[in-house]
Chains A and B, each alone.
Chain A
Amino acid sequence: MSAAPIHLGGERLMLDPAGVLHWPARRTLVVADLHLEKGSAFAAAGRFLPPYDTRETLSRLALLLRRWKPARIIALGDSFHDRHGASRLPPPELEALHRMLAGLEMLWVLGNHDPEPPEGLPGQAADEVRDGPLVFRHQARPPASRFSAVAGGEVSGHFHPKATMPTRAGGITRPCFVADGRRLVLPAFGAYTGGLDARDPAIAGLFPRGARLFLLGRERLFSMTASPAPQPALTGTGPG
């Protein structure tokens, strides 16, 4: 496994091919869109998805905790698929989560799926977290104007970016990081989280000067560039 370094707001960050971010200077692991208990949320709505998603997501996260040994975790929101998700955690998963978080500082950034702090779990909840030059929030703030200077850097989730790289055997689609020098959008980490094409105006619009995409691979990341977003006049009908 080789993580890739990236500079954001002057800070050196590591992009892990598993789809998480490590900030060595602060011993912080950042993970976006866990969507825990998405399976049971669907089951409640009449779609019996296999009830193993939380187990799967947590076991992947546990692996990364062993890899990076962070002192702090920032979950960038939508950590649970809905506001009652935490209360539906099956006892073994609840126990596993407590075990994993023991001795760690846990920061739950609130997202649109989980606007309230998860009940009965350790950690602090906040709408956004500021640390040094970086701000961590669920959904990126659109640029105020094309030329407005942004100090520092922003790290966010929400959009579940994915991208397709053309290869000689056709396009291969993977979840991806999207970044320019001041903004970084993380891919979704949850086992059942699909993706939104990074060319979609909702994502591309955040990067008016284009962006670099880092597609997740088994052992490493694969990089490609993304075109600058089209002129606003062309994209009147993007999703809200």
Chain B
Amino acid sequence: MGTLPEPFAAWFARRGWTPRPHQLALLRAAEAGRSALLVAPTGGGKTLAGFLPSLVDLARSPRPGLHTLYVSPLKALAVDIARNLTAPVEDMDLPIRIETRTGDTPQNRRARQRADPPNLLLTTPESLALLLSQAEAGEFFAGLGAVIVDEIHALAGTKRGDQLALGLARLGRLAPGARRVGLSATVAWPEPLQAFLSPTGESGGVRLVQVRGGAAPDLAISLPEGRLPWGGHMGLASMPEVYRRIQAARVTIVFVNTRAQAELCFQALWRLNEDSLSIALHHGSLTVEQRRKVEAAMAAGKLRAVVATASLDLGIDWGDVDQVIQVGAPKGVARLLQRVGRANHRMDEPSRAILVPANRFEVIECTAALEAVRHEELDGDPPRPGGLDVLAQHILAMACHAPFHPDALYEEVRCAAPYAGLSRRDFDDVLGFVENGGYALRVYDRFRKLFRDAEGMVHVRDQHVARQLRMNLGTIVETPLLKVRLRGGPVLGEVEEWFISTLVAGDCFIFAGQTLRFEALDGVSAVVSRGGEGEPRVPAYAGSRMPLTTWLAARVREILHDPRKWRLLPAPVQDWLRLQRRQSMLPPKDGLLIETFPRGGRWFLVAYCFEGRLAHQTLGMLVTKRMERAGFGPLGYLATDYVLAAWSAFEPTGVEHLFEEDILGEELEEWMAESSMLRRTFRNIATIAGLLEKNHPGQEKRPRQMTMNADLIYDVLRKHEPDHILLRATRQEAAGGLTDVARIGLLLARARGRIIHKQLKRVSPLAVPALIEEGREWVAGGAEDALLAEAESLVEEVTDGAELFSGLLADVTEGVAIRPRDVDKPRHRERPRHNRFIRNAPKSLGRA
């Protein structure tokens, strides 16, 4: 084993520490000038390992100027690390200056940093992009010796990761000598991360340092007392058990899968909280101040438990957490391990974690995840190509930094792993978009933002363009949000605008851990008051639920198929599976089981695909389209992580034809172009690429009616220039990011010739959870318009025609007595709900 130089050896010794092998390995890699990726579980002293070589180097040969740049996905993490590093630096009296630079850094400090950079600068991908767009970036980074990318697994594969990769490629030009260090949690495939880190975009040049093991985590499954729920995802039936475990531990993190679930669990726990334990709530829609307050209380040891979503997945070391409870199925093994690692941030002690499945299928899924952890198998997504919208932003930023030649920038960009396969056509079209919009109709030439000189160098038009870019840099696009403000009080957080648009004055909803009554819109926020009557709703957020990973799905299928593995399952679940075997059959490992049965005057079709909710949603759309053509009269469908269920007016026969591979052809194309998913993708791309702006110089707040509607632009562009680069980027991202379409393709290929159709007299045991699931999609001939007509006629029905809308309209509008509450009580409120509203959740648990 190697040794540490002084004064580090003494400092370690004083604290009774021995340098860990991976810390020394990184030191050796640095001394050889090599880049390295460190993959280690949480609690392995990763951050110190990353910084140690820089500290050693600076202690040996102190010098002014920027030595090491550290990039983290979280502002708070950068601040936290800066604090942690300051201690050893002060202890050893090292001549090293450490500073952070984030969106919160005041203007004067930024200016000072540019003139006199610290030795270690801790920042975020967005702040790095800003620095690189400055004219003086060349001098600033010239002496750079190292770049450390923390939580690299959380950045690679995202748009922030794309932006960082492009920034790293530029750093490779400005400071070719700088080595790179990547710090990652345990991942299935480190190679794409090595490539991400590498100055050439290839994994070869980056040394891999992998820390195995640590103590194996101590995982267990906890079931609710009494009956095991058939359906539901909230896990509220287990809250008494969760509460007892909180009582028994020092500090607990209760991880949940969605913000809505966080709100509900938090309320349920407080209803049980007779001891008034300090239990807090943490999710991404709460105000930053509120989250910081919870984090600070956590760090100070003032909390017994915090109910949290992915907002707590990363980073900051809470130290004393001795128990993690995951409520709801984990959906992926790597994600589960990262969450479990939040307990007991010390590698040599086992992390303790409890899995709390919310329903029977989730019991199997949790069991599958436990097995995977035991066998040290992980899942993960393959790398995807970098976004062209991020590239557009980067190209403009580079022009703001200094004139460039397109050939040189193209070569440079391809050194970033996500862009290694970028075609010259795409690059040129993105450049064209940045220059003047790149439209076939070249009417914007006089407004161009970039122009080329005689030597072909590309220049930015003026400082106004640069300012506009800097105000809008970044790749995080929020869906339109509205602030939720207590009347005469503070802002509580933000809720998606569409949710507020479904409320009428007097409706209540649960948010920020309290029941709120919606009063009015005041233009920029939803005004609410505390309390309220009636059953509250819970705001849910589009796309907030993670689908089951392919890999975990395969394991679930395997357990189902193999009765020898059932002994891992609790008795009620075993009984359930036996019942299924008797009344129908178990889903086979490779083939596809499809059941049909009549129920309540309709025919049901249930396909056991196990490809995740998103894939099933797409598949449902395609299959019902085909059912319509076959004359089965489909009425609706529903997608869970495990099955697709569709119902129709007539008995579906020849179901094999509904699941043929060619449904992925025309029908898919047609659906994709119209789908809300594509529209959402376009909105994000248009915003990041700079078509829509988040901020405009000199115009801090725009009137609400001025906000540009991306849907309208999408429609116009699709009609008039369907091959425009932004639409190409949208389709590419939808197809690539849409691994669920690929999953459907694989499923259909696998099932070819192996579809088993069971015609049953009644619902099968495995189908029950799906039939009581929330989140149904309706198939309506004319889609939206039909729904509108129906909603309207429902109003007529419940008001006995008082709200009649017909040819007599004129008479109605002339001096009509309006009773607004009539409209608010239509029957649709009582019907099964749209997937994004989670109402009555506790009831549904007991509805078996």
A binds B: yes
**Which A residues form the contact surface with B (CB < 8 A)?**
4-7, 12, 40, 42-53, 55-56, 90, 159-160, 164-174, 179-181, 191-197, 199-202, 209-212, 215, 217-220, 222-228, 230, 234-235, 237-239
Residues of B within 8 A of A42 (CB): 708
B805 to chain A, nearest CB (A): 4
Residues of A within 8 A of B823 (CB): 224-225
A220 to chain B, nearest CB (A): 8
Residues of A within 8 A of B447 (CB): 40, 43-44, 46, 48
**Would B828 and A230 count as touching, CB distance under 8 A?**
no
A8 to chain B, nearest CB (A): 8
Q: Do A172 and B692 contact each other (CB < 8 Å), given the known contacts A51-B439, A165-B792?
A: no
B131 to chain A, nearest CB (A): 22
Most chain A C-beta atoms within 10 Å of own C-beta, residue among B441, B501, B706, B812:
B501
B544 to chain A, nearest CB (A): 15
Q: Do A212 and B813 contact each other (CB < 8 Å), given the known contacts A55-B720, A90-B443, A197-B521?
A: yes
**Which B residues form the contact surface with A (CB < 8 A)?**
433, 436-439, 441, 443-444, 447, 449, 464-465, 468, 498, 501-502, 504-505, 519-524, 527, 690-693, 696, 703-709, 712-713, 716-717, 719-721, 724, 777-778, 780, 782, 784-785, 787-792, 795, 803, 805, 807, 809-816, 818-820, 822-823, 826, 828, 831-832, 834, 836-837
**Would B813 and A181 count as touching, CB distance under 8 A?**
yes
A87 to chain B, nearest CB (A): 13
* B433 to A, closest residue via Cβ: A48
Alpha-carbon separation in the docked complex, A52 to B790 (Å): 35
Residues of A within 8 A of B524 (CB): 237, 239
Q: Which of A45, A51, A217 contacts B441 (CB 8 A)?
A: A51
Q: Which of A43, A45, A201 contacts B521 (CB 8 A)?
A: A201
Q: Which of A168, A180, A201, A218 contacts B828 (CB 8 A)?
A: A168
B205 to chain A, nearest CB (A): 39
Alpha-carbon separation in the docked complex, A208 to B114 (Å): 57
B104 to chain A, nearest CB (A): 27
A90 to chain B, nearest CB (A): 6
* A172 to B, closest residue via Cβ: B784
Q: Which of A215, A219, A234 contacts B519 (CB 8 A)?
A: A234
Q: A168-B828, A230-B519 are in contact. List 13 more A-B contacts (CB 8 A).
A: A5-B807, A46-B690, A47-B691, A52-B716, A160-B705, A165-B788, A167-B788, A168-B790, A171-B501, A194-B709, A201-B523, A211-B818, A217-B788
**Would B795 and A228 count as touching, CB distance under 8 A?**
no
A58 to chain B, nearest CB (A): 12
Residues of A within 8 A of B468 (CB): 46
Residues of A within 8 A of B820 (CB): 210, 225-228
Q: Do A227 and B785 contact each other (CB < 8 Å), given the known contacts A51-B437, A192-B708?
A: no
**Would A50 and B501 count as touching, CB distance under 8 A?**
no
A111 to chain B, nearest CB (A): 13
**Would A200 and B810 count as touching, CB distance under 8 A?**
no
Alpha-carbon separation in the docked complex, A164 to B834 (Å): 15
**Would A180 and B813 count as touching, CB distance under 8 A?**
yes
**Would A172 and B788 count as touching, CB distance under 8 A?**
yes
**Would B436 and A166 count as touching, CB distance under 8 A?**
no
Alpha-carbon separation in the docked complex, A200 to B706 (Å): 14
Q: Do A171 and B498 contact each other (CB < 8 Å), given the known contacts A218-B782, A223-B792?
A: yes
Most chain B C-beta atoms within 10 Å of own C-beta, residue among A46, A195, A209, A234:
A46
Residues of A within 8 A of B436 (CB): 48
**Would B809 and A218 count as touching, CB distance under 8 A?**
no
* B690 to A, closest residue via Cβ: A47
Q: Which of A45, A56, A212, A222 contacts B816 (CB 8 A)?
A: A212
* B788 to A, closest residue via Cβ: A222
Q: Which of A5, A160, A222 contacts B792 (CB 8 A)?
A: A222
**Would A193 and B787 count as touching, CB distance under 8 A?**
no
Residues of A within 8 A of B433 (CB): 48
Alpha-carbon separation in the docked complex, A240 to B814 (Å): 30
Alpha-carbon separation in the docked complex, A127 to B504 (Å): 36
* A229 to B, closest residue via Cβ: B520
* B525 to A, closest residue via Cβ: A237
Q: Do A167 and B809 contact each other (CB < 8 Å), given the known contacts A192-B709, A237-B523?
A: no
**Would B443 and A195 count as touching, CB distance under 8 A?**
no
Alpha-carbon separation in the docked complex, A205 to B66 (Å): 58
A199 to chain B, nearest CB (A): 6
**Would B505 and A230 count as touching, CB distance under 8 A?**
yes
* A210 to B, closest residue via Cβ: B818
Residues of A within 8 A of B696 (CB): 45
**Would B522 and A235 count as touching, CB distance under 8 A?**
yes
Q: Which of B443, B791, B805, B832 contacts A51 (CB 8 A)?
A: B443
B780 to chain A, nearest CB (A): 8
B508 to chain A, nearest CB (A): 16
A210 to chain B, nearest CB (A): 4
**Would B810 and A12 count as touching, CB distance under 8 A?**
yes
**Would A50 and B720 count as touching, CB distance under 8 A?**
yes
Residues of A within 8 A of B438 (CB): 48
**Would B704 and A200 count as touching, CB distance under 8 A?**
yes
Residues of A within 8 A of B791 (CB): 165-168, 222
Alpha-carbon separation in the docked complex, A211 to B820 (Å): 10
23 A-B interface contacts by CB (under 8 A) = A40-B447, A44-B447, A46-B690, A47-B690, A49-B713, A56-B716, A56-B719, A168-B787, A168-B831, A168-B834, A169-B778, A173-B498, A173-B501, A192-B709, A192-B713, A192-B716, A196-B704, A196-B705, A220-B789, A222-B785, A223-B805, A227-B505, A227-B818
